[in-house]
Structure 1
């Protein structure tokens, strides 16, 4: 997978190529990272890419010219190497909220162009001319799209084939659609007894069916307590079994939470 990042702070992305699972995948050539600074693609002699907004208001706006020139240069490079057409994704507070379903879809692409906004935003004409999709990572304000891009990269790269040491790891995780989109319960490891707190006996039993049932019930419990909206979503999608519904009903009846 080829990722092209449009940012006025390309140095932010240096560390992700060296750290953890994503860094290992980069060294193993599972994905490629290229950064493009719009300052290099503007006719402004001062390499300025921002200006004050028409109509007044606070802050500065990144120009359509600098961003469109950058994206066009990236696309020219793609054509030179006969690469597939890549979607142009802009990180924006008004974009679609990014989730695991988005990540799964994007992880199947051969590449994408990620545009990191800054200041008060980008000129709408760039959005209209070039942007395929706008994405937000949550209902909060960041200084720019770089942190959002890093989050997206980490999420997507770990879904690429043979990136995780155990391919089952990406199936049994919170929000994965193969697991009904529920939150994970907490895991345990050695020692069995830590400051008087013991590992639940069921996890030491060796009975895989009972352990799986216990994990499912723990997952249902924590999801109902912290993200009941995910329970409703799973129910609407027909992803909860009769046993799941019975367990949830018992939790509500006895006010366990």
Structure 2
């Protein structure tokens, strides 16, 4: 009996995994295919990008401030506080900036994607589109993917910039002048770090969009099911982002 249960769980898991990657591949394959649904893309970019800007800026500001504060405390006994700018930049641009921005967008935008698509599923709007011959992936999923792929790098850059500003605000109280703060950036950062800081949000945006669309399009159970699907999408996206961040970092380290 236990073997049968395990077998069913494994079959269900790998079937879901196959469906997930099949949806993701279909979304990527349709990015440059017509019709492009430009208006839907603009609407989704506004919902997922501009609407998430404030929370990303707020997160980046206080993250940069707390990073600078901790760095100053650790460096002050060694009279090395001039390196605080480089430490904040290296930490935020390569790791915390992309991850924190993605987690904020996953919580706000990813859940919105799932709830919106899930509501369309349970109210049979998606079935009506299929009856009319509409490509559901092209019409509903791909515009959200394109909006997320454009929004995530921009939000990450904004998060990184405001975190550096927050780091300087905290450092100024310890006698660090702007020239000293900025000069530390080049001592800790190389060009590959900037590339890493932009590649990660692209990949994380892909995860958020595909996960939100997959969970949303497979929603069952009415209004209660929509709420459960939104929660599932946020948890799944957040865990996947953290796991994939480790492997992406390992790949960049291997090519140094």
Shorter-chain TM range is under 0.3
Bigger Rg over Cα? 1
In the superposition, the TM-score normalised over structure 1's length comes to 0.25
In the superposition, the TM-score normalised over structure 2's length comes to 0.25
Relative contact order (C-alpha < 8 Å, sep 6+): which is higher?
2
Q: Which has the higher strand share?
A: 1
